Every structure is written in structure tokens, then in C-alpha cells.
Structure 1
């Protein structure tokens, strides 16, 4: 995949590094020369440029990227203009880091496919981990539904999913199990799957049902 990343602050540079390590073609653009020089180590191409110059974007061939990721810090007007220009150039997938909900609304209006709030999301995950010490990971799907990875309670040890019957008892669904001491994940496990000590349960359910389950699990 050919990815253009605009803005090489903490968020943009870390995304660039991660994608480059996964063998994607990464083009990084920032007006700050020192950040661009550092980015040469973990990008296919690093360019010093003003992201809001439409003709420059086209001349750099950025109309041919598969995905654009925009992370211009607190410069709201620049990110809005950039999304507009990228959309006009025909970039199909645009992900943007937003500052607030008003910024998000405008970005979506001008063509952003996805808007992210990394600081807010990190804060929510941190709060969730403090609230539930045995929580491994947390993903809010909407206001009503969540996906959560949690260490299986001790009481689940050596019991099958059928015996636990979590859907009937708590209204939640185990969609996968990450086995103890392994990166192996068993998706859509059967009722005969037996839980071992240290297994991680990846569960899906309504927020209110997951909260009840967390209380039972010691969270």
C-alpha cells in the first residue's frame, strides 16, 4: 500500500514507523526540516513542504496514494484545507487526527473517511484499565456495544464455554480466546472449548451487560 502521512509530530511519526516496518510504501510530508530529516530513517520518502499548497501536492504525485493520514496538530484550518485538496485530487481513503468534535464535523463534511482522537482514545483505555485491573484491551464500538479482552476469572478454569453459558447468564458473547502464554487466537470458539488458567477472553456485548460481567469477574 502507498501511504502519505502529513505531519510528523508524535502521532504521525509513530504511524509512519509502524507502517514502514510492515513493508508499506510511506511518504511523509512536513514543513519542519528537522522532523523530515529524522523521518528519512523510517520512510520511503520524506519531503519538506507546505501541505496546504494544492499544486505542490499534485506535482508530488500524492493523487496516486492509496491512503492519506493527516496529523497537523492544532492547525485546524490547514487540516481542513488539506482534506479538501486530497479529496479533489481523488484520494479515496483519508484518515485525520481531530482536535475536537466541531473539527471532526467539518473534516467529515469536506471528505474525511475516518476521524480519530488518539489522546482521547488513549485516556479512555487508561481509565478502563484502572477501573478493571484484569482488563487487557478495550474497544468501544458505539455507545451501546464494546469489545473487550479480559483475563479469564479463576472460576472459569477447566470449564467449557458451554458450561459457562455466558450469553444466557450475562448477555455477552465470547468471540475469541487468546491462549495463555501464546499469541495464538482461537476465533469463534465452540461450546466445547475449555478455558485454561491465564487465557484471555475477547468478548462482545452491550455496555451494560459487560459492566455486569466485569463486576462478577472482579473488575
Structure 2
């Protein structure tokens, strides 16, 4: 795996716990913080280091070593004020990477102005995911990369029996196939050759312009 990271998670609701659990599964060191004892107790089943503390208290964060972490994820429930104060504290503590869950577009704008390194608005992200899966046949996963570019996972149907050379996806649609997983395989094969023959049910990972998605039918 990549280098083991030390990550702090402030706020152990559904989003924060989901992040913490996934990071632990990936082998990283995670320290969780929440004001509520019930959430702290539940989190102890997931991670060995979890504390009941107020994330808006900069001294408490410093005592728990949050200023030494590689990343800190902020998911402070429904309190925009708390989220903003926590983010400000973390930036003043010079945490290298502060990732924050936003609750509204105005909240998102404020977090960016405070210097949050990454802001996610889960409801909007999920809505775009679902819209693309409805509107693009064969689309399994969709991840915006910025600048109008996306990473997509597509399942093969109409392209069954054709090679990547036959499809000429780069010239026709501006899509670059970076990995293929056969429908019977457990792992991806990266940077497939142009003569790779596709079969129905194969998964393709592509990078390309978001606009091209509406033109393809894999």
C-alpha cells in the first residue's frame, strides 16, 4: 500500500464514521473526535483511538495531536458555525490537508475562503452520480476531476466483440481507456493494448471530457 497516513476525523456521524471506517480498512491510522459519548462509544468498534472532545476547542485539538496529522476530515453534523470554527482552527494549526463536508452552497463558499483544501457537498455529489447513471447507458461510476474532465467506469454491452482499436475512443470521443476488468476477473488490467477485444459485461475505466458521456453507448 501507499505510505501509511495519520488522519483525524472530527464529527462521527454517518459521513465521518464512513470516512473513518474506510480509512482504517485501507490501513491508515485514524483518530476520531466527537462531542457525544454515544458516538464515541460506537466508533470504538471501528478505530482504536477515539476521544470525546469539542472540535471547536483549538487547545483540545492540539493536545490530541491534530496539528501533527497529514489530513483532518471535518464532518460536524448540522452545525455550520461549528464546521467553520473547526476549519479555521485547523488552518491556524497549519494542518497540511483539511477536508470538510459542506451543508449548503453558501457554507461551501465560506469554507473555500477559509482555505479548506477540499470541500465535498455529499448531496450534490450523489445527485450528479445518479443523474449520470440514468442519462448514460452503461455508466457504473462517475467521478468529476475538474476542468470538465471525469473518470468513468463503464460496463460493455454494445461494444461486445470489438477491440479498442476498432472503437477508436480517443479520436471519436476524447476518451482514454486506462484499465479493463473482464466480467470473470477479480482485478483490473491497466493500460490495455489497442488490440484488446472487449466482451459483454467487461468494465472499462476511462478518463475524458464530461461532455462526451452523452455521445457514447458502450
SS in structure 2 opposite 1:141? strand
User: How far apart, CA to CA, are the structure 2 residues paired with 1:6 and 1:57?
Assistant: 10
User: How far apart, CA to CA, are the structure 2 residues paired with 1:170 and 1:5?
Assistant: 40
Q: Are residue 47 (structure 1) and residue 59 (structure 2) matched?
A: no
How far is the alpha carbon of 1:10 from its aligned partner? 0.5
- If the length of structure 2 is used for normalisation, what is the TM-score? 0.90
User: Which one of the candidate residues 119, 138, 141 is aligned to 2:123?
Assistant: 119
The residue aligned with 2:103 is: 99
5+ residue gaps, structure 1: none
Matched-pair contact (CA < 8 Å) for 1:96–1:116: yes
Q: Are residue 183 (structure 1) and residue 186 (structure 2) matched?
A: yes
Q: 1:143 to 1:74 in 2, by over 3 A?
A: farther
The residue aligned with 1:74 is: 78
Q: Any idea what the Cα deviations from partners look like across 1:23-70, whole Å, max 9, x if unmatched?
A: 222111111110111111111211111111111111222211111000
Q: 1:11 to 1:159 in 2, by over 3 A?
A: same
Matched-pair contact (CA < 8 Å) for 2:136–2:214: no
Matched-pair contact (CA < 8 Å) for 1:135–1:151: yes
Matched-pair contact (CA < 8 Å) for 1:25–1:44: no
Alignment coverage as a number of residue pairs: 214
How far is the alpha carbon of 1:13 from its aligned partner? 0.9
5+ residue gaps, structure 2: none
How far is the alpha carbon of 1:71 from its aligned partner? 0.2
User: How far apart, CA to CA, are the structure 2 residues paired with 1:140 and 1:114?
Assistant: 13
User: How far apart, CA to CA, are the structure 2 residues paired with 1:183 and 1:67?
Assistant: 31
Q: Are residue 148 (structure 1) and residue 163 (structure 2) matched?
A: no
The residue aligned with 1:210 is: 213
Q: Any idea what the Cα deviations from partners look like across 1:154-196, whole Å, max 9, x if unmatched?
A: 3x22222112212233332222212212232122222111112
SS in structure 1 opposite 2:123? helix
- If the length of structure 1 is used for normalisation, what is the TM-score? 0.90
User: How far apart, CA to CA, are the structure 1 residues paired with 2:105 and 2:93?
Assistant: 26
SS in structure 2 opposite 1:163? helix
